[in-house]
Amino acid sequence: MPLDAQIIEPVTGKVDPELSACLGVAEHSLLFAHPEMRPETFPLLSRMRDYYADVDYVTGELESLIAELERTASLFGPDSNVRSFLGPFHSVCCMAFFGGKAVALYAD
Per-domain residue ranges of the chain: 3-107
Given a cut of 70, whether residue 105 has pLDDT beyond it is: yes
CATH number of 3-107: 3.40.1760
Residue of higher predicted confidence among 64 and 12? 64
Mean pLDDT, residues 87-97: 96
Mean pLDDT, residues 36-55: 95
The predicted pLDDT at position 18 comes to: 82
User: Could you give the CA distance from residue 88 to residue 103 in angstroms, rounded to a whole number?
Assistant: 13
The predicted pLDDT at position 1 comes to: 64
CB 1 within 8 A of CB 108: yes
Continuous segment of H or E residues that includes residue 85: helix 83-99
